Structure 1
Amino acid sequence: MTAVVTETPEVSTMDRVRTFAARRASVLPTLAAIAILIVLLIGAQVEFGNFLTPRNLSALLLDHAYLLVLAVGMTFVIVTGGIDLSVGSVMAFTGILGAQMLASGIPVWIVVPVMLAGGAAIGTLIGVLVQYFNVQPFIASLAGLFLGRGLAYVVSLSSIRVENPPILWLQQTRFLIGEWYITPTGIIALVVVAAGAIVMAVTRFGRTVYAIGGSEQSARLMGLSVARTKVMVYVISGLCGGLAGLLLTAYSGAGYPRYGIGTELDVIACVVIGGTLLTGGRGYVLGSMVGVFVFATITTIISFMGAEQAWTHIIVGALLLLFIVVQRAIVARSDRQT
């Protein structure tokens, strides 16, 4: 009796790539963002020769800690299929409110919770409008934008300097690791990223967020807490806005009612570049962190070149357009497969 030996067809590298792309389509935009970040860093080093230094790379987190915190909250909202245009105004309102309270002699242990509560309150209002009054997220968060900015101007029309040592300590302190450094504001931002990533990945709340973004009707039929979750994602975004107000106040040493104008667009761009689908259902907090670092790297490169910062928005706009096209292609591919 002779055994029949069958030859297994050889799988080419291109076939492996196609298989990976088909099975991991949701992570492709994030991987693309990582690739763009690496190309930017290498290109800047080749061009300037002194870009990839511990000082410059540490400054990326130092200068954009507040943006990283806002991106975490925005990721939760966008994954549900919503949007939050109020984050810049919330940041400005909580920042100027905290600065005013500190200038009045109120203890910092009271001021910080009030700042966080103020952001969460505006987020709750937006969530209630979206969920219980069927207001479109764009309109509801636009109302929150005007409310936050208006409240900021009510508190003060001018800048208020912050001289409170515990607040200034958040930015002025440097924890050195060799030639690298990190500030308490950077540590807070990274803790928020880690917490957001864990919540989205391993908790029931996170799975509900993804389910709502995939199909809200299906999530309801599955018995998931759709109403509570939709309100909570805006509360989280507002809370992140309040925390970002604290970080920006510590970073600048002052509260100012005009802080954060246009920041909501920067945050949305970072989240989308990081791989979060604008239509909801797909996205990663860690991807949003990559998007923030892409934005920060572009800003730093423009500064090294001595060019106008307007080029930052031009380049980010081009990347945003590219990633939206990639997202549409991924969605169309998924629809064909289903």
Structure 2
Amino acid sequence: MSRLHSDATARRGHAVGRLVSRNLTLIVTAAIFAALFGAASKFYDGFFSASVFVSLLGDNAFLGIAAVGMTLVIFSGGIDLSVGAVIGFTSIFVSTLIERHHVAPGFAWIVGLTAGTAMGAGMGALIHFFRLPPFLITLAGMFFARGLGFWISTDSVGIAHELYGKISGFELMLGAVVLPANALMLLAVILAGYVVAHHTRFGRALLAIGGNEQSALLMGLPIGRAKIGVYALNGFCAALAGIVATLYTGSGNPSMGLGLELDAIAIVVIGGALLSGGRGHMLGTLLGVLIFGTIQAAILFDGRLSSWWMRIVVGGLLLTFILLQRYFLRKK
């Protein structure tokens, strides 16, 4: 009886150990965010406030939405270099439909989301059916989407529609905290991404494929459907980010989102996701967005530092997390 009890205790101990190991990078990410936000609050008066925290979400809303889609792709062991170009294409496409062709914003958004989803699904189909590298296919998709955007218009197009003013000016009061529309959209997308990633068969299939695609195939998981689906969903998120960007800036620009795909990848990795797939958490992506925003806000508060310091700090954090992941994988 004592042997059975000791075996059960040992199994519980191993389970707890695996849980701690799995979430350790998430804990480290949260600790880094707390340290960065705390340090900035100490050095800069007025930094420690609800308005600054909310601005971390609002000012990085379309980047965060793109990072949610990228998180799902990385879960599956893939990568998508086209998201920044899809954001630029969607922004200029939607703004041109609204301003130059007098299309209702709601219909223009539906068309833009459909186009982004179709682009993503097309890349996913090529990756799956022809067994082509995601890096090369999405690189081609990046050139294609960016070229389409500049074909539509080489100049930015301002949006003066009344609905845009109403949505961009909307605010939700939660006591002393005021949440703008773009921050609410980001939180809604992250919540939806959390449900999809961690509470659906589709999300579990993505993690299984990223962990070991051959094992996932032997388990009978729908590999092809999941791969095409995740790139389609990522295209949808990128198009949605483009629409949110038009709400944030009041215009569409074919060069919008230039290099944003690299920021999204960095956010996902800093959030604790394994770049080779199979491990990660959507909450980590939210923390990655907050870290990115904190560095940005601290540089603005300082006023003396170049914006390139943000790249330097993010690069250092990214390297740190890659080394941490390597360490934990070897330990495993």
Distance 2:201 2:103 in 1: 39
Identical counterparts, % of pairs: 39
| Deviation string, structure 1 residues 2-22 (Cα, Å, up to 9, x no partner) | xxxxxx9xxxxxxxx999655
Report if aligned partners of 2:54, 2:183 keep a CA contact under 8 Å in 1: no
Q: How many residues align?
A: 319
Amino acid at match of 2:214: Q
Unaligned residue ranges in structure 2 (runs of 5+):
1-5, 7-12
Distance 1:19 1:219 in 2: 22
Distance 1:24 1:281 in 2: 16
Alignment of 1:130-279 (within 5 A): 130-279=127-276
State the structure with more CA Rg: 1
Where does structure 1 differ by over 6 angstroms across 4 or more consecutive aligned residues? Answer: none
| Deviation string, structure 1 residues 11-69 (Cα, Å, up to 9, x no partner) | xxxxxx99965542121111111001101111111101310112211111110111111
2:323 maps to what in 1? 325
Report if aligned partners of 2:194, 2:283 keep a CA contact under 8 Å in 1: yes
Distance 1:98 1:136 in 2: 30
CA-CA distance at 1:203 after TM superposition: 1.1
Report if aligned partners of 1:21, 1:28 keep a CA contact under 8 Å in 2: no
1:4 maps to what in 2? none
SS at match of 2:59: helix
1:74 maps to what in 2? 70
Q: More deviation in 255-264 or 187-196?
A: 187-196
Amino acid at match of 1:69: I
Unaligned residue ranges in structure 1 (runs of 5+):
1-7, 9-16
Distance 1:296 1:116 in 2: 26
SS at match of 1:51: coil
| Deviation string, structure 1 residues 181-218 (Cα, Å, up to 9, x no partner) | 11222212111111111111121111111110111001
SS at match of 2:69: helix
Amino acid at match of 1:112: W
Alignment of 1:274-313 (within 5 A): 274-306=271-303, 307-313=305-311
Distance 2:49 2:173 in 1: 14
Distance 1:81 1:220 in 2: 14
Alignment of 1:120-135 (within 5 A): 120-135=117-132
Report if aligned partners of 2:57, 2:289 keep a CA contact under 8 Å in 1: no
Report the RMSD for the aligned CA atoms in angstroms. Answer: 1.6
Distance 2:14 2:52 in 1: 37
CA-CA distance at 1:170 after TM superposition: 2.6
1:93 aligns with 2:89: yes
1:3 maps to what in 2? none
Q: More deviation in 59-68 or 266-275?
A: 59-68
Distance 1:88 1:285 in 2: 20
Distance 1:309 1:44 in 2: 16
Distance 2:289 2:82 in 1: 18
Distance 2:326 2:63 in 1: 26
Amino acid at match of 1:81: G
Distance 1:171 1:333 in 2: 48
Distance 2:135 2:121 in 1: 15
1:65 aligns with 2:33: no
Distance 2:319 2:166 in 1: 39
SS at match of 1:281: coil
Distance 2:149 2:102 in 1: 19
Report if aligned partners of 1:170, 1:183 keep a CA contact under 8 Å in 2: no
Distance 1:102 1:140 in 2: 31
| Deviation string, structure 1 residues 71-93 (Cα, Å, up to 9, x no partner) | 11001100111000100000010
SS at match of 2:60: helix
1:119 aligns with 2:125: no
Distance 1:20 1:138 in 2: 36
Distance 1:263 1:51 in 2: 26
1:52 aligns with 2:48: yes
Report if aligned partners of 1:97, 1:155 keep a CA contact under 8 Å in 2: yes
1:33 maps to what in 2? 29
